[in-house]
Structure 1
């Protein structure tokens, strides 16, 4: 009991530090406005940066796995980069404590979501006034993207064709279905289907990835490891080292991802077209 409340107290203190470091970064941007760009044509200003950095909330009906994007570019001097590093360190510490709580005391997560907003009245008033639902912990700890070095250019593009595929054994599939509700008719149907295939047959659990903005970074000079370019996802504003205080050349992608896949479906797809176990998004191999 003592350990779990010590961890919760640590999490509260670390949440405070995340807020404090974000506020320090925003304050620096207010005093010394950096050059910046925002997807969609909105003006880049400290008010937009504040909203991007302090949006920690679920919206009504939001998928718990999804997070909101705030896509932009920021030309960062050394002082601003130091603030970004402090924010990311605070987020990393917060995420580590949260992971420990999830592993050992998962029932405390709901309590943390309820308690943390009250520690910052301004944030809680925002939560209540906007009709938002509750704290979104992933949006609290996701890092601010930072380029490794000054860039010659940035190319941005939506990536919409990603999906995650994991092997799933018959035994694991059965266990997961039983954990859901073995008395439900649709679960019983899937358990019977599972019983009709060999125990040794692997299944594929498929998770479609939400569209993400991908940034291709082209460095002015090769990095120490020889790389001259790097690709990274940028759901939050990308901070780019810029001694001159200016953004590098960049393209302007569409405001939203295309409604369909932009790449042809792979010719070597080996999964059946319809899920074998819909509740697990599990497919048989052809």
Structure 2
């Protein structure tokens, strides 16, 4: 009897998986509602390097939630656009964001509590909607792309007068590593290879207390600066954000804000000067791990 009570108070992996499917269905329903509303209203829209956006561009953008064949799982496809949305459409887009958040939170719970069911969930979810299933069959696309499922749709907090887009191509993430952690990572590589042995010797020649930096160069991304017509409650007059997904701004008599036209491709060379106080050495210390020493 105690076992029954425990099971009733703590959901099983199967029950949580059913909850996830329900959350995914709800996400698809909110996207469909928002897209249908957009298509009915045909609000003023600017799409990156499209003179006349196709009628179904938003549908393609919001329902793009799966990996293409051989796609790097860390990569996501971008849909850079600005939509002048009325209050009804903004409410529908906000509902999509809430559904995305709920879906993401449940996925994180499953990952922690029932990690063995995550792969099962990813194989079952694409079958939950005819549109998704059709695209999977037609294009030979593979598994569901979770990052593209839950990424948020930017909504401007107030009317916007200008949007300034610019490529940001010098971003990087830096993770601090101890000498012991770096050694552990090297030992998991081919230690018979001469270049790995050289790096292990270099590592052995520095103090064990030294802190190292593992650097990951990030893919170029588009950034947007939104300039508000009036200061926000906190006094700010602009907001910067990543523009991977369409930006929805309150419509101003069904007009778009002024938008610049950025280059089609990100710059190939770094335009900004290196910071004088950059703390990492210029030359990589452990190439196989992208590990640098601090100056």
1:136 aligned to which of 141, 145, 150? 145
Structure-1 separation of matches of 2:55 and 2:206 = 58
Which residue is 2:30 aligned to?
A: 21
Which residue is 1:208 aligned to?
A: 217
5 Å-filtered alignment, 1:32-43, equals 32-43=41-52
Structure-2 separation of matches of 1:168 and 1:68 = 31
Which residue is 1:285 aligned to?
A: 294
User: Structure 1 residue 214: deviation in Å?
Assistant: 0.8
Which residue is 1:85 aligned to?
A: 94
Q: Does 1:74 align with 2:79?
A: no
SS in 2 for 1:107: helix
Q: Which moved more, 1:104-113 or 1:242-251?
A: 104-113
1:248 aligned to which of 257, 261, 264? 257
Q: Does 1:122 align with 2:139?
A: no
Structure-1 separation of matches of 2:131 and 2:277 = 53
User: Structure 1 residue 80: deviation in Å?
Assistant: 0.2
Contact 1:29–1:46 (CA under 8 A) maintained in structure 2: no
SS in 2 for 1:252: coil
User: Structure 1 residue 5: deviation in Å?
Assistant: 2.3
User: Structure 1 residue 184: deviation in Å?
Assistant: 6.0
Structure-1 separation of matches of 2:115 and 2:67 = 19
Structure 1 residues 145 and 134, CA gap change in structure 2 (3 angstroms) = same
Give the superposed CA RMSD.
Answer: 2.0
Contact 1:26–1:46 (CA under 8 A) maintained in structure 2: no
User: Structure 1 residue 100: deviation in Å?
Assistant: 1.5
User: Structure 1 residue 264: deviation in Å?
Assistant: 2.3
Contact 1:160–1:262 (CA under 8 A) maintained in structure 2: no
User: Structure 1 residue 183: deviation in Å?
Assistant: 5.6
Structure 1 residues 226 and 9, CA gap change in structure 2 (3 angstroms) = same
Unaligned regions of 5+ residues in structure 2, if any?
Answer: 1-6
Structure-1 separation of matches of 2:12 and 2:79 = 37
Which residue is 1:105 aligned to?
A: 114
Q: Which moved more, 1:187-196 or 1:76-85?
A: 187-196
Structure-1 separation of matches of 2:35 and 2:69 = 27
Q: Which moved more, 1:38-47 or 1:146-155?
A: 38-47
How many correspondences in the alignment?
A: 285
Which residue is 2:162 aligned to?
A: 153
Contact 1:150–1:241 (CA under 8 A) maintained in structure 2: yes
Structure-2 separation of matches of 1:243 and 1:196 = 64
Which residue is 1:168 aligned to?
A: 177
2:282 aligned to which of 262, 270, 273? 273
